[in-house]
């Protein structure tokens, strides 16, 4: 065990107290800024795109069903709803889409499948919404059949 002089002990105590004071100050002053999910220059978190925005901006829209392989949860493409603007999508129905697949031990909560939107012309190039029992909670609990009719009306 290291022996410290009285002066060294006071110096260590002062450093500890100063560290605590700085930490508390940082949490009190910066905490809300650090913990919030806000865009620079705004006071509110970013809103996820609406269904209409997602459909309008996407060059490809497809769905997948999650498949438990024992080692992972794979996103297997089951339908391609729209493919626009000459976007060359390197996957086909039946392929696994790795970007929406998860390790078996993942803490991610997933439904039966997902709808995926790829928008390579925009800053955010990929987004998805989960599907649970034929319902898309991320789009105001719309049924998958109704979503398909909306896509067909907006992409044809």
Q: Are residues 27 and 81 both part of a single domain?
A: no
Residues 41 and 55 occupy one common structural domain: no
Domains contained in the chain, number:
2
Q: Are residues 56 and 130 in the same domain?
A: yes
* DSSP SS3 for 11: helix
- Residue ranges making up the domain that contains 12: 1-45
Give the H or E element holding residue 125.
Answer: none
Q: Which of 139, 149, 89 is nearest to 114 (CA)?
A: 139
CB 146 within 8 A of CB 134: no
* Statement to judge: residues 76 and 36 lie in one domain: no
* Three-class SS state of 86: coil
pLDDT tens track, the chain, 156 positions: 567 677 766 666 554 444 544 444 444 444 444 444 444 555 555 677 788 888 888 889 999 999 989 888 999 999 999 888 788 888 999 999 988 888 877 766 778 999 999 987 665 577 889 999 999 998 999 999 999 999 888 766
Model pLDDT, residue 10: 66
Are residue 75 and residue 142 in the same domain, yes or no?
yes
pTM for this predicted structure: 0.66
User: Based on the domain organization, do 60 and 102 belong to the same domain?
Assistant: yes
| 138 in the same domain as 70 | yes
Q: How far apart are CA 66 and CA 96, in angstroms?
A: 9
∠ CA 44-48-53 to the nearest 5 degrees? 125
Same domain flag for 101 and 30: no
Residues 41 and 59 in one domain: no
């Amino acid at each position: 065990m290291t022996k410290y002089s009285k002066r060294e002990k006071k110096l260590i105590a002062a450093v500890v107290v100063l560290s605590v004071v700085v930490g508390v100050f940082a949490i009190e002053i910066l905490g809300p800024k650090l913990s919030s999910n806000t865009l620079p220059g705004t006071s509110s978190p970013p809103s996820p795109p609406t269904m209409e925005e997602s459909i309008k901006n996407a060059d490809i829209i497809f769905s997948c069903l999650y498949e438990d392989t024992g080692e992972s949860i794979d996103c297997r493409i089951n339908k391609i709803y729209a493919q626009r603007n000459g976007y060359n999508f390197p996957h086909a129905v039946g392929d696994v889409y790795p970007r929406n697949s998860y390790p078996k031990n993942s803490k991610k909560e997933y439904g039966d499948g997902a709808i995926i939107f790829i928008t390579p012309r925009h800053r955010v190039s990929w987004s998805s919404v989960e599907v649970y029992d034929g319902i898309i909670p991320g789009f105001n609990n719309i049924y998958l059949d109704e979503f398909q009719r909306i896509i067909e009306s907006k992409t044809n």
